[in-house]
Amino acid sequence: MDGVEMDADSTKPGTQSLSRVFTVLEAVRSGCADLASIGRHVGTGRSTTHRLVSFLVQHSYLRHIDGRGYVLGPALISLGSAALEQMPLTSCARPHIEQLAHETGDSIHLSIREGDNIIYVDKIPGTKGLEMRSRIGLQKPMATTGTGKVQLFDLPEQEWLRLYELARADALANEMTPTGFLEWDVFRAKLAEFRDKGFAIEREENEVGICCVAAPIRDARGKVVAGVSVASSVHYMSEERLGTLVAPVMRCAEAISAELGWCRPV
């Protein structure tokens, strides 16, 4: 019609079909498992829905399981794995830990598990002029670091004990038992409490005079793959302030987890 400008892309049949394909995948991801519920979610009739779903099944983006219905297919698993490999943790985490550093003014640590230790893969120094021994590439025992504790959350208790004993042996060997080093029963009880709450607090267990709040980072499978923490001197870490840091640290961890494909359980 004269005087009416249309967005050509939005009306192209190919564009509409592509949009519907992605909407079908989102519908199945959210729990729609039959043609009727998928059609309601997408806004298509039965024949169109059947055509879209059949196309996705044919190309392994969906599959049908007897007694359960339609689920996401192996082609998406392959794509997801490739996407994770192409987006290293440090790259996707960096903007989020920079934001956390800006919010708190404290040192931010990002670590992953390396054998029986954690290794710091990124660090942003705080703005309070404090010096910490931590540095990128440094390895520390899992059981005595905040970012290590949160990576214990998914492990069985016997593994907690084994890693605790290794941390204790390391401290004794170096004749540097930290001020806050905990006895096993206390360590176990606190770690169980932290696991239930979804974050950990570490008080001078790793380095004298330093406290931190940490949270776990999870991947698309829900598995803990890293930890992030806010750390500072005990002088700046009163009980009240530690409490106020929990929310921003957990938000940061969840934002990084989302980058890795994690979805909050419904």
Mean pLDDT rounded to a whole number for the chain? 89
Q: Are residues 70 and 182 in the same domain?
A: no
pLDDT band at residue 9 using 50, 70 and 90 as cut-offs: very low
Please state whether beta strands 117-124 and 107-114 pair in parallel, antiparallel, or not at all (unpaired): antiparallel
**Structural domain harbouring 164:** 87-259
Q: Is residue 3 part of a domain?
A: no
Neighbour tally for 106: CB within 10 Å:
26
| pLDDT band with cut points at 50, 70 and 90 for residue 8 | very low
Q: Is residue 20 situated within a structural domain? A: yes
Q: Quick check: is 2 in a domain?
A: no
Q: Which residues contact 33 (CB under 8 A, 6 or more apart)?
A: 68, 69, 70, 71
Segment 117-142 shows an average pLDDT of 88
| Total structural domains within the chain | 2
Tell me the pTM: 0.71
Residues 152 and 193 grouped into a single domain = yes
What CATH number is given to the structural domain containing 75? 1.10.10.10
Q: Of the candidates 79, 113, 128, which is a domain's last residue?
A: 79
Is residue 127 located within the same domain as residue 153?
yes
Domain-terminating residue out of 79, 104, 124? 79
- Of the three residues 29, 52, 79, the one that is the final residue of a domain is 79
pLDDT value, residue 14: 67
Q: State the CATH number of the domain containing residue 186.
A: 3.30.450.40
Is residue 134 located within the same domain as residue 96?
yes
H helix or E strand, kind and range, residue 210: strand 210-218
The pLDDT value recorded for residue 80 is: 75
